[in-house]
Amino acid sequence: MRFWKMWKNVYIAVLFAFTIYALLNTFVISSVYAVVDQEQTDKQTQVRAERTEQTEQSRQAERTEKKGKKSSKKSTEEPTPATDKTNTSGATETGITMSQYREHDTNIYVAQIKTSLVTSLRTAFAKNAYGRNVTATTSETAESVGAILAINGDYYGAREKGYVIRNGVLYREEGREGQEDLVLYQDGSMVVIREGEVSAEELVSQGAWQVWSFGPALIENGEIAVSTTDEVAKAMQDNPRTAIGILENGDYVMVVSDGRTDASEGLSLYELADFLKGLGAVAAYNLDGGGSSTMVYQGELVNQPTTTGRIKERAVSDIIYIAAQ
């Protein structure tokens, strides 16, 4: 009897220790899988940007040349040489417009980004490291990469599955069947895909620049993609929220809302989607929210991130940003 009681106690102790280790490994213990050379990443990004611009200039020149040939056939006069106006409108410049809204008893902050180069929209890992439980506040990571504008990302480090493609580089290819991801392609388009229907390698070969795997999709093909009862697992109905999307005119939007305070109630997924549709979004996606929801502009907090009832930034795995250059 005593023998079995002793082994029972040993079993309970081992089970308890394993449970504690599993929790620590999931939420606390850091594991770095790859260190990112941010300077090298910026150089590669610049090269991609220059190639993209050169490609667009070549296409524009070809279109202009064809147009000139067609015109010469219709006129006996010598055609005037066409001028390449690709750069005259500041094709590589990025403009950011900041706005604040008040809806559903909640403060909502919107950054509208006008750029002709998708490589202006970048991502960065906390501490320049891809791994598990490697975190820093959005402000800290934004400062480390010289971001003029930044929001929190999808907190990939809290999960073991879900595609991770950042700045054109594939870091994690293991997916979750049916998981909705947002893909930002190098041609500037944003498309919602389902993991399992297309592999991470295929996305890279198709020109994926960024892939985020949190979700769900909020807007697809200009229509709201969630219902009034949809919610992120274990989340409350009204929350601080973070989202990213693209408008009908081609501008990108980053949206962050406050919540869980007397000043701001927070938004449901449907309210967030409806708000984005009102902005003119044709595609939009829900990122990590709650205490993670943070927007930083020119080194200053825009919103009031809330962690455990206090106005305080939560450390997260990654950010989405516009570089100050």
Mean pLDDT computed over 151-168? 96
How far is the CA of 121 from the CAs of 38, 126, 141, 145, 306, in angstroms?
A: 15, 17, 15, 13, 26
Quickly state the pLDDT bin for 309 (edges 50, 70, 90).
confident
Q: Of 179, 150, 146, nearest to 162 (Cα)?
A: 179
Lowest mean pLDDT among 50-59, 129-138, 221-230, 253-262: 50-59
Q: Is the pLDDT of residue 29 over 80?
A: no
Q: Is the pLDDT of residue 296 over 50?
A: yes
Distance CA 253, CA 246 (A): 6
Domain range annotation of the chain: 5-35+93-323
Helix or strand or coil: residue 17?
A: helix
pLDDT tens, position by position, 77-114: 333 333 222 222 333 478 999 999 999 999 999 999 99
Q: Is the pLDDT of residue 61 over 60?
A: no
User: What pLDDT, on the 0 to 100 scale, is given for residue 53?
Assistant: 53
Q: How many Å is the Cα radius of gyration of the chain?
A: 23
Distance CA 212, CA 165 (A): 7
Lowest mean pLDDT among 28-32, 42-46, 72-76, 298-302: 72-76
Lowest mean pLDDT among 51-65, 70-84, 106-120, 280-294: 70-84
Distance CA 195, CA 184 (A): 15
Mean pLDDT computed over 290-319? 94
* Burial letters 197-217, b for 16+ CB under 10 A, else e: ebebeebbeeebbbbbbbbbb
Mean pLDDT computed over 307-323? 91
The rounded mean pLDDT for the chain is 82
